[in-house]
Chains A and B, each alone.
Chain A
Amino acid sequence: MIGSLSGSLGRIGQVALFQLQLLKACGPALLRPRLVVHQVYNCGARSLVIIMLCGLFVGMVLGLQGYDLLARFGSESALGVAATLGLLKELGPVVTALLFAGRAGTALTSEIGLMRATDQLTAMQMMAVDPMRRVVAPRFLGGVIAMPLLAAVFNVIGIFGAQLVGVTLMGVDKGTFWSQMQNSVELRDVNEGVVKSLAFGVICSLLAVYEGFNTTPTAEGVGLATTRTVVVSSVMTLLVDYMLTAAFLKV
């Protein structure tokens, strides 16, 4: 009991120390933007299709469920507001983060983990190349840059998905859908989503590179690290989401 407690406490400390090291390496990494661009492509551009597809479906489901619920109170005209706020504040950032952990986080972990298992990272150190700067920091930065952009694309596609179902299928008036939305959504709501997606980007990318960098250098170790990335990233995303929501509602 005491042992496992100190073990998990030690893990938290390790992640925090790793974060500090990583931040120190981020400055020099930004001086070589080509590496970061490569990682933005890997994490962002290659996740785009799955993000758009999921955004469309989540938006369509919101349109359907929202219509069904609101129609009971005879206020279908609020469908645009309901779907948009749901997407902007919660579903957009959270679902994007979960997909990001599954699609990009696992790729980062297994890539770095395999480098560790095949001693590539050690070889770099032998050649006086700091793997933190050359390998880890660009991947972290790429993930942090890509995540808010992916969430924004998810939101826009989701809103049009909700419109597709709500207006075209269910017959809510198009002008009402948009004018009610534009009158009720505030810039603050959009900002909340952007702040959340940035925070989730940091969490998912950090955990992914941490697990990869500190993996047990065996085939089994890389597999375990990849699994842990998805599990821990997802749980942390949902936990931090609750805390951020509470913080935003207080303001």
Chain B
Amino acid sequence: MSANRSLEVGTGLFVLLGFAALGFLTTQLPGGKLGFADNSASFHVTARFDNVGDLKSGAPVTMAGVKVGRVTGVTFDSRDYKAVVALAIDKQYNHIPDDSWANIETAGLLGAKYVGIDAGGSETYLADKGQIDNTQSAMVIEKLVNKLFAAFASKPETPKP
């Protein structure tokens, strides 16, 4: 009887584990919010962009190519039609001038978007709930190509000598 009981308990555990795995797959993978990110002590600032490209929550924030924080949210402000990006920056980097530039950059040619910060020259530093005012939008390849073609088209034909 006790052997039977342990068998049933084992089966129950197995079924539970299986359904837990199924639950993880169905709820956490498609559009899941679980970050699995290192949540070290950080302070939060926002930056407003005209266009963020396909910047996603969870993308890294870098200064001089070194990771200093993480994007925690991308929302749309319907009053001024800008994208509001929430950044969590590690506590130890509390000497970032408040006139720094936040740029949307791309890892490689096809890689994911991330936020790069170029230090400014101000004497006051970014603090919690601060805002980065100087931003540069994502470079959208299609627009760039269009501009390039427009430039070529408008150029007058130079007659060959």
- A-side residues, CB < 8 A to B, are 37-38, 40-41, 44-45, 48, 73-78, 84, 88, 145-146, 148-150, 152-153, 155-156, 163, 173-176, 178-183, 185-187, 189-190, 193-194
Please tell me if B11 contacts chain A, counting CB pairs below 8 Å.
Answer: yes
Please, which residues of chain A bring their CB within 8 A of the CB of B71?
A: 175
Contact A44 B37 (CB under 8 A): no
User: B34, A45: Cβ atoms under 8 Å?
Assistant: no
**Which listed residue (B21, B37, B114) contacts A153, Cβ 8 A?**
B21
Residue B29 contacts which of A73, A174, A182 (CB distance < 8 angstroms)?
A182
Which B residue sits closest to A181, measured CB to CB?
B29
A41 touches B107 (CB 8 A): no
Report the tally of A-B residue pairs with Cβ distances under 8 A: 129
Option from B14, B25, B38, B59 in Cβ contact (under 8 Å) with A176 = B59
Which B residues lie within 8 Å of A73 (CB)? 108-110
Total B residues in contact with A, Cβ cutoff 8 Å: 41
Known A149-B18, A152-B25, A155-B25; contact A45-B13, beta-carbon cutoff 8 A: yes
A187 contacts which chain B residues (CB < 8 A)?
26, 30
Which residue of the partner chain A has the closest CB to B67? Answer: A173
A41 touches B14 (CB 8 A): yes
Q: How far is the CA of A19 from the CA of B7 in the complex (A)?
A: 29
Asked if B60 and A149 sit within 8 Å, CB to CB, the answer is no
Residues facing A in B1-50 (CB within 8 A) are 7-8, 10-11, 13-15, 17-19, 21-22, 24-26, 28-38
Instruction: Specify the main secondary structure of chain A where it touches its partner.
Output: helix
Nearest A residue (CB) for B60: A173
> Is there an interface contact between B109 and A44, defined as CB atoms closer than 8 Å?
no
In the assembly, what is the distance between CA of A152 and CA of B107, in Å?
32
A88→B24 CA distance, assembly (Å): 12
Interface contacts beyond A74-B108, A150-B18: sample of 11 additional A-B pairs, CB < 8 Å, sorted by A? A73-B108, A75-B110, A149-B18, A156-B21, A175-B35, A178-B36, A180-B56, A182-B33, A185-B30, A187-B26, A190-B29
Q: How far is the CB of A44 from chain B (nearest CB, A)?
A: 5
Residue of A nearest to B18 (CB): A149
